[in-house]
């Protein structure tokens, strides 16, 4: 039985990882800045040890990591900025090294090591490089585009009008993964440290074009949905970072070996986009 500290435990990736580890019988320290949130209460109910931790408070990180076997590390630039994400990620890695943890699993982004020029990929790559040099056993898992993002924002706005509004060409393939599969794969990696230490792995569970995504959403909703390409200038007017990401998706693509992952790690229980879409409560989301 492992004792795993999980950052971002009240978020999508950290929460999925915490639940997968608890289901497998491991001890989970769910690290969060808000120990009184509903998400924290839900993790407590599942048996997690919820602890306060703040990336900008080294003492809180030291206390949260003391005596743990491993760490699942997730960072985000959204709401803070890439400079803050990089600083906080490096501080987390340094705390893990100081605690002499046996394994750090950092969740980055698919292709973040390829010089994409996407700001929030570059910040994750800087953290990856810091982790490699920290002297602690490490693994980087790098998810493709999140299926969960299609249950909010632009997607919901468009679906109310029968369109899937997305800033990519209709026939451009995109690899996708839900948070549940990221958590399941992270738990697998944490439980098989010797197999995965020192490796960086891009992960995805399906690949679809925007036209295919629209078809899957139509099947889940039970009514027609057509893809409409959102102009990149519209995205750029709201976020240069996201515009750079979609520009990369359209120009270079986001290829990940989906078939190989499904073959080599069937225990993850990879979900297709259709699986994910069918499981969503669309009437509530669209109300």
pLDDT tens profile 209-249: 999 999 999 999 999 999 999 999 999 999 999 999 999 99
Section 85-94 average pLDDT: 94
| pLDDT beyond 90 at 149 | yes
pLDDT tens across 158-196, in order? Answer: 999 999 999 999 999 999 999 999 999 999 999 999 999
Nearest to 29 by CA among 134, 79, 101, 133: 101
What confidence category does residue 77 fall into, taking pLDDT thresholds of 50, 70 and 90?
confident
Cβ neighbours of 33 (radius 10 Å): 14
How far is residue 98's CA from residue 266's CA, in Å, rounded to a whole number?
35
Report the pLDDT value the prediction gives residue 76, as an integer from 0 to 100.
81
Whether 16 shows a pLDDT value over 90: the answer reads: yes
Instruction: For residues 262 and 238, give the distance between their C-alpha atoms in angstroms, rounded to a whole number.
Output: 36
- C-alpha angle 219-225-228 in degrees, rounded to nearest 5: 140
193 to 22, 130, 137, 190: CA distances (angstroms)? 17, 19, 8, 6
Residues 6+ apart with CB under 8 A from 192: none
For the entire predicted model, the pTM comes to: 0.96
């Amino acid at each position: 039985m492992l004792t795993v500290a999980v950052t971002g435990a009240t978020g999508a990736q950290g929460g999925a990882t915490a639940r997968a580890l608890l289901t497998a019988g491991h001890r989970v320290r769910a690290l969060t800045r808000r120990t009184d949130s509903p998400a924290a209460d839900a993790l407590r109910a599942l048996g997690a040890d919820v602890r306060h931790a703040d990336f900008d408070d080294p003492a809180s990180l030291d206390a949260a990591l003391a005596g743990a076997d491993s760490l699942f590390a997730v960072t985000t630039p959204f709401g803070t900025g890439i400079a803050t994400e990089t600083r906080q990620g490096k501080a987390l890695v340094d705390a893990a090294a100081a605690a002499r943890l046996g394994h750090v699993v950092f969740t980055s982004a698919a292709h973040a090591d390829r010089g994409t020029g996407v700001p929030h990929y570059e910040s994750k790559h800087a953290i990856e490089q810091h982790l490699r040099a920290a002297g602690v056993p490490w693994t980087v898992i790098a998810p493709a585009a999140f299926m969960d993002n299609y249950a909010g924002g632009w997607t919901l706005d468009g679906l109310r009008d029968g369109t899937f509004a997305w800033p990519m060409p209709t026939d451009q393939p995109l690899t996708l993964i839900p948070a549940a599969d990221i958590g399941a794969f992270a738990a697998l990696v944490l439980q098989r440290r010797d197999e995965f230490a020192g490796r960086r792995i891009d992960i995805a569970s399906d690949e679809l074009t925007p036209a295919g995504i629209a078809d899957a959403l139509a099947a889940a909703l039970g009514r027609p949905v057509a893809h409409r390409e959102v102009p990149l200038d519209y995205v750029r007017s709201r976020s240069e970072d996201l515009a750079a990401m979609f520009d990369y998706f359209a120009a270079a693509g986001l290829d990940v070996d989906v078939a190989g992952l499904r073959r080599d790690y069937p225990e993850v229980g990879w979900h297709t986009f259709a699986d994910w879409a069918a499981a969503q409560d669309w009437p509530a989301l669209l109300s």
